[in-house]
Amino acid sequence: MNKRHIRVLQGLCAALLAGPLLAPAQDKPAAPADTTSSAERHNATAERHVMQAVDVVHRMELDAGIRPLLARSKGVFIVPAYTRAAIGIGAEGGAGLLLLHDAEGRWSGPVFYNTGGVSLGLQVGAQGGMLAFVLNNQKAVDAFLKKTSVSLNAKAGLTIVNWNRMVQGAAGAGDVVAWSNSRGVFGDAATIELSGVRYSQNLNDAYYHRTLSASDIIAGKTGNSQAGLLVQTLASATQP
């Protein structure tokens, strides 16, 4: 072994004694923990549904004849984004918002419902979209306020008429008028049924920051300023 080889070996030994030849791999920083509470998530969901409902009301205003129908109504139940998968087969439908209309023309804040398990008895292959159910009388309103599970159908003593099929003069013929932005949702169905709608305690409690019933919200015992745009949009849509 010559002197050059000896020097190489001495260098390697010194490097080994000083530390590893390669720097240790750096550990990736841990992902930050999700500190969002369940109430905060429910509140964010409720706020999103309110803004979606504003879009529904704007779309309804574009439909000839719907403004006077809303102006005479006792309330409206808005389903901002009903999924295609849910139509006709009773799958998860989304969230619904109930707003009531008093004798002075004022609209209440929104009451949140879960429309999971809705069966509308619609055509196979119908598309999803925006839905709204205009409540023409107190009987239709009571269907929401008297029970936690809501059914709008003949078994509940209610008649739902299809806005897409009826003439404007027949708007008052039913207890409820069903509207959609997509004619493919209701098609030419002569009758429409809505069932399996349940009061969403989680969304209402989170949105209004206290435990409430639907009647409490309708009576104005609490409020949320974020709902102001929706209430104002409905008020504008129902002005003469």
Does the structure show a pLDDT above 50 at 203?
Answer: yes
- What are the tens digits of pLDDT across the range 71-103? 999 999 998 877 554 444 333 456 899 999 998
User: What pLDDT does 239 receive?
Assistant: 85
Name the residue with higher pLDDT: 39 or 123. 39
Neighbours of 111 (CB within 10 A): 27
Residue ranges covered by each domain of the chain: 38-237
Please compute the mean of the pLDDT values over residues 139-156 and round it to a whole number: 84
User: What pLDDT does 30 receive?
Assistant: 57
- What are the tens digits of pLDDT across the range 28-49? 565 555 567 888 999 999 999 9
For 85, counting Cβ atoms within 10 Å of its Cβ (0-12 exposed, 13-18 middle, 19+ buried), the class is exposed
How far is CA 126 from each of CA 88, 89, 182, 185, 188, rounded to the nearest angstrom?
Answer: 8, 11, 9, 5, 11
- What are the tens digits of pLDDT across the range 148-173? 788 888 788 888 887 876 655 455 56
Question: Which range has the top average pLDDT, 107-121, 141-155, 212-226?
Answer: 212-226
Neighbours of 89 (CB within 10 A): 11
Which ranges of 128-195 does DSSP label H, i.e. alpha helix? Answer: 138-145, 183-186
pTM: 0.78
User: What pLDDT does 78 receive?
Assistant: 94
User: What pLDDT does 147 receive?
Assistant: 72
User: What pLDDT does 98 receive?
Assistant: 96
Tokens for 219? 């009576």
Half-sphere exposure of 13 (CA within 13 A, CB side): 6
Give the whole-angstrom CA distance, residue 134 versus residue 196. Answer: 18
- How high does pLDDT run on average in the chain? 77
Give the whole-angstrom CA distance, residue 42 versus residue 225. Answer: 17
% of the chain exceeding 70 in pLDDT: 67
User: Binning pLDDT at 50, 70 and 90, where does residue 10 land?
Assistant: low
